[in-house]
Amino acid sequence: MTLIYDRASDAPQSHAIVIGVGCFPHLDGSKPDLMKELRSVDGVTSPPNNARAIAAWLIDAADRLVPPLGSVELLISEKDGSAATFDGKAIAPATGDDVSDALGDWLARCGSDPGNLALFYGSSHGMQAQEHILLLEDAGEDPFDPWRNMLSLNHLHRNLYKKNHKRSVLFADCCRNLLEGGITSLDQFTGRRIGNISQLEYAQARNAPDRFVYLLRAAPPGVVAKATRNGLGYMTESLLKCFDGGAGEKRAHYGWCITPGRLRGWVEAAGRYGLGIDDPDMRPIDDDSAWDTTPILTLPGMPRYPVRVREADALDLGRATLSLAQASTAFLEQRPPTPGAVAPLSVWVPPSMDDYEAAGEILEPGGAPILLQTVPVPVISDGTDVALRRT
């Protein structure tokens, strides 16, 4: 089965499809006719983990979505090839045929009301030619039609503009490894598809004021999408942090909420400052981000904002006890020395008119403590990075 949540309503709803692909049995090095970048592709753990986490979050946040959640389609291919389950239920694998069927069912539900919101989440190995392609479980089954069991995110993004529902939001947590060969035109893509749209139809739909298709990708072209220490993709964990209150703005009639227009910046800040990921390549890329300011999610309260505190000098990395405090609210978070695995102090703080205070101290054996600067930290919604030098 693929439908794990189904709630009928006569009012507009959000309908989601979630795909996580961890195994690629046909890309095992045994097919020399495949282009070299596809001949041998290792299985991955994080996409199935990502898919379960997103599906569970959607169900838990069903009534905070705008409009409320109506359904969730879930497809998972485990890294070891075993049968996937979710909440004790058998889940269909993310093969080409199963994904095509699930996409058709999802689109039918999305099209039941023009006010519905279509939500797509996909995580797998990703490849980048002109198309940004998501590999499905049976990718490469036919080496002479290698795209057959793949999903083009570009094609999906374009064709959602032609559907009956008006608004769509897509999330893709996957790599964008560059292919030397491959398709050179959208028209040459022969993979799984949801229809066709002409250039004229596409241009007209993009200019329609009530049409919106937003796509957030984990990485720019040529960059590998990485996983966190918690076994989730960087973008996925950052996204969940934002959705659970680590980002937001206040809108009339909605209160604190999240709109697509600022989501990319919040997700990047959540990774850099809230998760402590210090990698210049880890920067999500979005399409059509400024086109819509209608909320897609309400927040349970005032958002929290990410702050990262770290040592500034290379010789001090991991040696200090770092702290972030605010006396007026008795707030205190600390990171002890981490000589074996250097990591900053990453904290989500509640908004405040008063500054927080970052400080650090290095204890030398048999010597006096070495104090790092004490730095006032104002709350900034896009995240704050505080590098402490010796006093």
Q: Is the pLDDT of residue 199 over 70?
A: yes
Provide the angle, in degrees to the nearest 10, between the axes of the packed helices 234-241 and 46-60.
20
What b-and-e string marks burial along 245-283, b requiring 16 or more CB atoms within 10 Å of the CB? bbbbbeeeebebbbbbbbbbbbbbbbbbbbbbbeeeebb
pLDDT digits (tens, 9 = 90+) for 94-139: 999 999 999 999 999 999 999 999 999 999 999 887 789 999 999 9
121 in the same domain as 18: yes
DSSP letter string, 143-204:
TTSTTTTEEEHHHHHHHGGGSSSSEEEEEEEE--EEPSSS--SGGG--SB-S----HHHHHH
78 in the same domain as 13: yes
Last residue of a domain, one of 264, 298, 332: 298
The region of weakest confidence among 2-11, 273-282, 380-389 is: 273-282
* Average pLDDT of the segment spanning 70-96: 96
101 in the same domain as 237: yes
pLDDT digits (tens, 9 = 90+) for 258-276: 998 888 888 998 888 888 8
Q: Domain total for the chain?
A: 2
Percent of the chain residues past pLDDT 90, beyond the cut: 60
Last residue of a domain, one of 281, 298, 315: 298
346 in the same domain as 278: no
The region of weakest confidence among 178-192, 213-227, 353-367 is: 178-192
* Average pLDDT of the segment spanning 309-313: 95
Q: Is the pLDDT of residue 185 over 50?
A: no
Among 270, 304, 306, 313, residue whose Cα is nearest residue 384: 306
Q: Is the pLDDT of residue 293 over 60?
A: yes
pLDDT at 144: 84
Q: Is the pLDDT of residue 181 over 70?
A: no
Q: Is the pLDDT of residue 255 over 60?
A: yes
Domain region containing 349: 305-388
Q: Is the pLDDT of residue 23 over 80?
A: yes
Q: Is the pLDDT of residue 334 over 50?
A: yes
> With contact defined as beta carbons under 8 Å apart, do 86 and 4 qualify?
yes
- CA distances, 317 to each of 107, 270, 342, 345, 372 (Å): 51, 22, 7, 12, 12
pLDDT digits (tens, 9 = 90+) for 152-166: 999 999 999 999 999
Last residue of a domain, one of 266, 298, 330: 298
Alpha-carbon distance of 84 to 88, in angstroms, equals 9
pLDDT at 156: 94
> With contact defined as beta carbons under 8 Å apart, do 366 and 382 qualify?
no
Amino acid at 211: R
161 in the same domain as 126: yes
pLDDT at 366: 78
Q: Is the pLDDT of residue 361 over 80?
A: yes
Domain of residue 311, CATH code: 2.60.40
271 in the same domain as 197: yes
Domain of residue 75, CATH code: 3.40.50.1460
* Average pLDDT of the segment spanning 349-361: 92
The mean of the pLDDT values for the chain is 90
pLDDT at 282: 80
- CA distances, 312 to each of 51, 300, 322, 344, 374 (Å): 37, 36, 12, 11, 13
Phi, psi of 102 (to 5 degrees): -65, -40
pLDDT at 390: 95
76 in the same domain as 15: yes
pLDDT at 226: 87
> With contact defined as beta carbons under 8 Å apart, do 93 and 77 qualify?
yes
pLDDT at 29: 87
262 in the same domain as 331: no
pLDDT at 186: 44
pLDDT digits (tens, 9 = 90+) for 219-249: 988 888 988 888 999 999 999 999 988 888 8
Joined together, the tokens standing for residue 178 give: 């560059």
117 in the same domain as 68: yes
359 in the same domain as 233: no
Alpha-carbon distance of 366 to 29, in angstroms, equals 58
- CA distances, 272 to each of 174, 260, 277, 282 (Å): 18, 19, 5, 8
283 in the same domain as 267: yes
Q: Kindly report the pTM of this predicted structure.
A: 0.92
pLDDT at 137: 97
322 in the same domain as 287: no
The region of weakest confidence among 54-68, 289-303, 309-323 is: 289-303
> With contact defined as beta carbons under 8 Å apart, do 225 and 174 qualify?
yes
pLDDT at 124: 97
Percent of the chain residues past pLDDT 70, beyond the cut: 96
